[in-house]
Amino acid sequence: EECDIGLIGLAVMGQNLSMNIASNGFKIGVFNRTYSKTVDTVEIAKKENLTIYGYKTLEELSKNLKKPRKVILLIKAGPAVDENINNILKYFEKGDIIIDGGNEWYLSSEKRIELCKEKNVEYIAMGVSGGELGARYGCSFMPGGSKYAYDCIKDILEKCSAKVGTSPCVTYIGSGSSGNYVKMIHNGIEYGDMQLIAESYFLMKHVLKYNNKKLSEVFKKWNEGILNSYLIEITYKILEKKDGLTENDLIDMIVDIAGAKGTGKWTMLESVERGIPCPTICAALDARNISSFMDLRTKTSSVFKTVIGAVPDNNTVTINDTIAKDIENDLLNALYCCKIISYTQGLFLLKKVSEEKKWNLNLGEIARIWRGGCIIRAVFLDRITNAYKNNKDLELLFLNEEFANEIKNKLPSLRKIINIATTHSVPIPAFSASLAYFQMITSKRLCLNMIQAQRDFFGSHTYKRLDKEGDYHTIWE
Ligand code: 2AM
């Protein structure tokens, strides 16, 4: 059929992306291990007046692709991808292009890039964000790898991506596995954003004693200001939702144990491995992990009589409407402040890896393509793009003058919120971790002189002096 592009893997993402590609006027051929899903996809597409060409075998699909052949893989990350690439390489020739759109560990992609190089097949590892709806109606693409290959698929990606104004949410990320890495950081940042929002919800619920309706109104109002974003939007919508099975609101019926698919963990592994801290993301990941110990939490809560929202020592804290309004406002400031701090951490990791791997990442452009389609889409990202436009070598995001001034203005609110949360026994680990990071990374003197002294005391690890060059060791006793 001379298809413009092929797609392998017809789970929800693959099915939706193939419909998206077809609806943008491209001829697309698809293949799935289980043929019935191929048949389903062709049928579903037909109902929307779209033509998708389904093939029973990989060989058939390859034969029907225009040269250079292009195929997008959307299958379960890991060994299944290796298996499929090995099969594709049986049919692909020099200059043909493989695009892996899965959430793949970047080092696995690096191995595949080498494998494909041996056969002169071009490789793109591409982050895709936006979930099912994004895949169907426009998502954020983060393609990295062969620049030649990118130019060959640029038109398709631009048409299928989300648009902000007229700009498509796609750009060439950089060489190698940078597309996977950027998607991983995107997801890590997403963990941080989600946790900060969840903590804000919890604080207002347990300190201000707002009901879900009121909470929803607050988030809705926030969504009209500087925090305007997809995650704030879904939060107010979640808080509006009735259960349906009971008289309750749905949020109150949902078990407080959070799942994870691994990209947050990967971000942390990288952060630890490279010694570039991302404590806000770390707090978010830890929160999910702590949440999983339901039995232990139940047992220990009775030992310690933990009551979230309770003020110990029976200190009465009266919160009238005026005070509540103030706390609400401080919380908005604090949340925004932490968001800047969290993005600063994630982008710093990205910058350092980019330098080491010579990916030459354009962080402003990356913020731009996150502006639409993906989960962390937010108006706020425009300001990140501008910050890097002003200075592409900006070391830490919050060193940008505008962000720096905002942090200076909002920091008192953040401190207040952490005090209030502590007083009322409300754990807000992502807020706390963000403030601690900020205070340390912006402080000339830290407590680590004591660590060095201790290390020298018990292990003769030596220390440096403030006043003289060289390594010193002291006989401490
Ligand atoms: P399936 O429909 O045959 O299960 C998400 O799991 C997608 O990845 C599905 O389309 C699934 O195909 C595909 N997939 C998972 N493991 C695979 C493998 N080893 N080979 C081919 N496709 C695989």
Atom 18 (ligand 1) nearest CA: 80
CA-to-CA distance for 373 and 384, rounded, in angstroms?
17
The residue whose CA has the least distance to atom 6 of ligand 1 is 76
Q: Is it the case that residue 436 has pLDDT exceeding 70? A: yes
Band of pLDDT at residue 319, cut at 50, 70 and 90: confident
**Measured from the CB, is residue 9 less than 6 Å from ligand 1?**
yes
Pocket test for ligand 1, best of 16, 17, 32, 85 (most atoms within 8 A of CB): 32
The pLDDT-based confidence of 278 (bands split at 50, 70, 90) is very high
Percent of all residues in the chain with a pLDDT value above 90, rounded to a whole number? 97
* Domain tally, the chain: 3
The alpha carbon of 75 and the centre of ligand 1 are apart by a number of angstroms equal to 5
Q: Using a 6 Å cutoff on CB, does residue 234 contact ligand 1?
A: no
Arithmetic mean of pLDDT, 420-443: 97
| pLDDT (0 to 100) of residue 233 | 98
In order, the DSSP letters of 36-93 are: HHHHHHHHHHHHTT--EEE-SSHHHHHHTBPSSPEEEE-S-SSHHHHHHHHHHHHH--
Q: Whose CA is nearest to atom 12 of ligand 1?
A: 33
Residue 80 C-alpha to ligand 1 middle, in angstroms? 7
Structural domain range at position 26: 5-176
Same domain, 336 and 235: yes
CA distances in angstroms from 86 to 29, 83, 124, 201, 230, listed in the order given: 19, 5, 15, 48, 39
- pLDDT band for position 406 (cuts 50, 70, 90): very high
* 357 ligand 1 Cβ < 6 A: no
Among protein residues, the one with the nearest Cα to ligand 1's atom 21 is 33
ipTM over 0.90: yes
**Residue 84 Cα, ligand 1 centroid: separation in angstroms?**
10
Instruction: Establish whether residue 311 lines the binding site of ligand 1, counting it when its CB lies within 6 angstroms of any ligand atom.
Output: no
Q: Is 33 in the pocket of ligand 1 (CB under 6 A)?
A: yes
Q: Mark which of 176, 206, 231 sits at the end of a domain.
A: 176
Residue 357 Cα to ligand 1 middle (Å): 32
Q: Is the pLDDT of residue 277 over 70?
A: yes
- Centroid of ligand 1 to alpha carbon of 9 (angstroms): 6
User: Which of 123, 144, 176 delimits the end of a domain?
Assistant: 176
Q: What would the mean pLDDT of 215-219 be, rounded to a whole number?
A: 98
Please tell me the distance between residue 145's alpha carbon and the centre of ligand 1 in angstroms: 24
Report the pLDDT value the prediction gives residue 401, as an integer from 0 to 100.
97
3-class SS string, 335-389: HHHHHHHHHHHHHHHHHHHHHHHCCCCCHHHHHHHCCCCCCCCECHHHHHHHHHH
Q: Is the CB of 34 under 6 A from ligand 1?
A: yes
In a shared domain, residues 468 and 370: no
Verify whether ligand 1 is closer than 6 Å to residue 37 (CB atom).
yes
Q: Residue 316: is its pLDDT beyond 80?
A: no
Are residues 243 and 216 part of one domain?
yes
**CA 393 / ligand 1 centre spacing (Å):** 42
Note the pLDDT tens digit of each residue in 173-208: 999 999 999 999 999 999 999 999 999 999 999 999
Provide the pLDDT confidence category of residue 314 given band limits of 50, 70 and 90. Answer: low
81 lines ligand 1 (CB under 6 A): no
What's the mean pLDDT in 159-171?
A: 97
Instruction: Please tell me which residue in 27, 104, 122, 190 is annotated as part of the active site.
Output: 190
What pLDDT is recorded for position 166?
94
Pair (372, 471) in one structural domain: no
Same domain, yes or no: 452 and 436: no
Clarify whether residues 154 and 130 are in a common domain: yes
**Cα–ligand 1 centroid distance for 8 (angstroms):** 9
User: Are 92 and 217 found together in one domain?
Assistant: no
214 has pLDDT over 70: yes
Q: Please tell me whether residues 71 and 118 are part of one structural domain.
A: yes
Average pLDDT of 319-340? 96
Instruction: Find out whether the beta carbon of 82 lies less than 6 Å from any atom of ligand 1.
Output: no
What is the CATH number for 473? 1.20.5.320
Q: Are residues 124 and 213 both part of a single domain?
A: no
| 193 and 160 assigned to the same domain | no
Under the banding of pLDDT at 50, 70 and 90, the label for residue 404 is very high
**pLDDT at position 1 over 70:** no
183 assigned to active site: yes
What's residue 315's pLDDT? 65
How much is the pLDDT for 320?
92
Length of the chain measured in residues: 477
Closest C-alpha to 8, from 86, 92, 81: 81
pLDDT-based confidence at 343, cuts 50/70/90? very high
Cis geometry, peptide bond prior to residue 68 (ω within 30 degrees of 0): yes
Ligand 1 neighbourhood includes 75 CB (under 6 angstroms): yes
Q: Residue 34 CA: which ligand 1 atom is closest?
A: 3
Residue 237's CATH number: 1.10.1040.10
| Residue 317 banded pLDDT, cuts 50, 70, 90 | confident
- Which of 37, 70, 183, 351 is catalytic? The answer is 183
CA of 390 to the centre of ligand 1 (A): 45
Atom of ligand 1 nearest to the CA of 75: 8
Of the three residues 176, 193, 225, the one that is the final residue of a domain is 176
Identify the residue whose C-alpha is closest to ligand 1 atom 16.
Answer: 80
pLDDT over 80 (residue 44): yes
Is the model's pLDDT at 311 over the cut of 90? no
Nearest CA to ligand 1 atom 17: 80
Mean pLDDT value across the chain: 97
For 176-243, give the secondary structure using H, E and C.
CCHHHHHHHHHHHHHHHHHHHHHHHHHHHHHCCCCCHHHHHHHHHHHCCCCCCEHHHHHHHHHHHCEC
Shortest-distance Cα residue to atom 2 of ligand 1: 34
Average confidence (pLDDT) over 31-45: 97
CATH number of domain containing 68: 3.40.50.720
The C-alpha atoms of residue 85 and residue 91 are separated, in whole angstroms, by 10
Identify whether residues 451 and 437 lie together within a single domain. no
Task: Give the pLDDT score at 256.
Answer: 98
190 as an active site residue: the answer is yes
Ligand 1 atom closest to the Cα of residue 10 is 10
On whether both 96 and 202 belong to a single domain, the answer is: no
**For residue 318, what pLDDT band results from cuts at 50, 70 and 90?**
confident
